[in-house]
Chains A and B, each alone.
Chain A
């Protein structure tokens, strides 16, 4: 960010005047800092809008960069709202309260209270339902938009399976899955990996048997982790073919989780705890 404080302060001053319009000529440091953060957030938005590493034309003054950033924030908020409405049409929380509360109760409140002028950096929600991508570095509409993109990928993935099947897998994973604060897709992916390793069709439900665990152990012993990863990604890719557009984005989104599952698999094989991982 190449702007000197002297250039940014007048912008904060203008925002502060809006506060003054409410009958105040002074404010606590905390509030003034919040306004400065709002300005920096917008300037940063202007610098990065249009993809990773996009850089703003340096000829712009701080005021112009701020205004461009504000427009970006507004556009992103509209895009996020449109995405939310799209997801809402077929949204299913599968009985999980955490996902239900974030999406059904929390998101509308975010769009209701989000103040893109005085506090665009405020995420407002705690986003308790964990997604499979680390979005902890972003805040405000960036974080909400990123979160909704994750939920959109997840919902598409979960819709590949009948609702009853998803609920059954969740129930076997945790009998109180309604209250669990875990990612549903991760549970489903773990189950899929188990089926692939055991050589059983996905449609076959009812839990894993002793011989399945033996087979998993044999496959793990025969294959090196990298080879196994390749196989699993291939299978996942085949599964996501029904995804249509965005299939590669989804594959990329889930690939880290496959790595996590493999790490847990290695541990489970080492300690004879496969039934815990694949109930």
Chain B
């Protein structure tokens, strides 16, 4: 079947929806110009083609922006690049998780890991955190449905994140010799 109709389907999305997000992000010092929004939508097209997906409605970009705009690791300098990269990661893991997670569940999961585990490192988010979680989803894990994607990663984390004993030991050595 001629794939051009998929391009038509995606054209329903509007640039205005992305620019509208400025109303909500301004309080965090984040703004998108029209060129920025066009770039985000252009890159969205590339990511969708690469992941062989088709998007409809207002698309995922405004949702990503609303979810991540209060992040400690995003500022005006890396705003556009981060949103573009998050879009790519989002579509990749929609496929990797066989569309089992809804958009919101996946976004909650991404945001939480981005903030608390990856500390803004997108490569770590893509290559390690979401990769581990997608394996669990493909193996049949469905716990995210109850939690809506919140507080899920710790169940599958292979790294000990915070060792209190070690912390107190180091603290003692530092202050009490």
* In contact, A16 and B4 (Cβ under 8 angstroms): no
Does B39 belong to the interface (CB within 8 Å)? no
8 Å CB contact of A8 from B5, B63, B94, B95: B5
8 Å CB contact of B54 from A22, A23, A26: A26
* In contact, B5 and A9 (Cβ under 8 angstroms): yes
8 Å CB contact of A20 from B52, B53, B57: B57
Does B104 belong to the interface (CB within 8 Å)? yes
Inter-chain contact total with CB atoms closer than 8 Å: 69
8 Å CB contact of B60 from A5, A6, A25, A29: A25
Given A23-B104, A23-B105, A9–B54 Cβ distance below 8 Å? no
Does A174 belong to the interface (CB within 8 Å)? no
B-facing residues in A186-235 (Cβ within 8 Å): none
A10 to chain B, nearest CB (A): 8
Given A16-B56, A33-B1, A28–B6 Cβ distance below 8 Å? no
B: contact size bracket = 20 to 34
A-facing residues in B92-151 (Cβ within 8 Å): 94-95, 99, 102-105
Does A265 belong to the interface (CB within 8 Å)? no
CA distance A6 to B104 in the complex (A): 31
CA distance A37 to B2 in the complex (A): 12
A→B interface (CB under 8 Å): 5-6, 8-9, 12-13, 16-17, 20, 22-29, 32-33, 36-37
B→A interface (CB under 8 Å): 1-6, 8-9, 12, 48, 52-60, 63, 91, 94-95, 99, 102-105
